[in-house]
Amino acid sequence: MLRFVLIAAFLHDVVVGDLLSDSGKKAFLSNHNEHRRSIAKGNEKNKNQQAMPKATNMLKMVYNKDLEKKADDWAKACNFEHTPNIDYGQNLFMSSEALSQEDAAKQAGDSWWKELTDIYNTDSVAFDGNAFQAGHFTQMSWAKCRSMGCSVQKCSFGTFVVCNYENGNMMGDNIYESGETCSNCPAGTKCNDGLCAVDCKKKRKRRK
C-alpha cells in the first residue's frame, strides 16, 4: 500500500489552467533529476548534518502524460488534499503567489526536498515510520520511480501544484540502495552523471 504525507488544509475553489507547456514539464523533470543526482552522488546531508549514503540504483526520471492528466484532473478542483484511493505516489504544494509553471516547479520541488534537512534525522535509507514524516522528500528520491507527471493550477488563493509518481513510499522498502553511485543500475539503463538512464542504443535496437 502506498503511503503519503498530507499537509492539512481545506481549500476549495474555481480553477483556471491548462496542461503543462514543454518548458513547464522540463522544469519539473530538471528539478527532480538534479536533486536525485545530488543524493545519488553523496552530496546531501540530513537534519543532523550526517552525510546521506550514495545511491547505486537511482533512476533518471522521465515525463508521463497519463500521470500528468490525472494530476490535472485533480488539481482543477483546487482542493488541497490528496486524491483518495490511488495506486500511485503524489506530492502537493501551494503558494499564495501567482507563479509561472517554471517557478512553481522550482519552488515545489525545493520545498519538498527541504524535508531532508528540516525533518529527516537519520542516514538510514529504509522507508519506515521516521522516513514517513519526510514523505515528500522520500517520494522525490524514490530510486525505482522512473516517471512523473504534474499540474500547475491558478486558484484564487494562489498556485496549486500536484505531482504524481508511478510508485514510491512503500512501507518496509528502501528509498534507494546505498553503495557506490550507479553500481547497480537496472537492466536497460546505464549511468548518466550519477543517474541510471535508459540506454538509447539498446532502445533503438529493440525497435528494429
Is-above-0.75 flag for pTM?
yes
* Helix then strand then coil, % of the chain, to nearest 5: 30, 20, 50
Q: Report pLDDT for 18.
A: 73
Question: Would you state the cell numbers that stand for residue 34, as one nine-digit string?
Answer: 538534479
pLDDT averaged over 10-residue windows placed end to end, the chain, 208 residues: 36 56 99 99 98 99 98 96 97 98 99 99 96 98 99 96 98 98 98 93 51
Q: How many secondary structure helices (H) and strands (E) does the chain include?
A: 7, 6
Q: Are 155 and 11 in contact (CB under 8 A)?
A: yes
Q: Report pLDDT for 202.
A: 56
Question: Would you state the cell numbers that stand for residue 133, as one nine-digit string?
Answer: 514524516
Q: Report pLDDT for 17.
A: 53
Block residue for cell numbers 492539512: 8
Q: Report pLDDT for 12.
A: 40
Q: Report pLDDT for 201.
A: 64
Helices (H), the chain: 22-40, 65-75, 101-113, 115-118, 129-132, 135-140, 200-207
Could you give the domains of the chain? 22-207 (3.40.33.10)
Q: What are phi and psi of 112, to 5 degrees?
A: -65, -45
Question: Would you state the cell numbers that stand for residue 123, as one nine-digit string?
Answer: 542516514
What does the angle CA 182 – CA 68 – CA 196 come to, to the nearest 5 degrees? 5
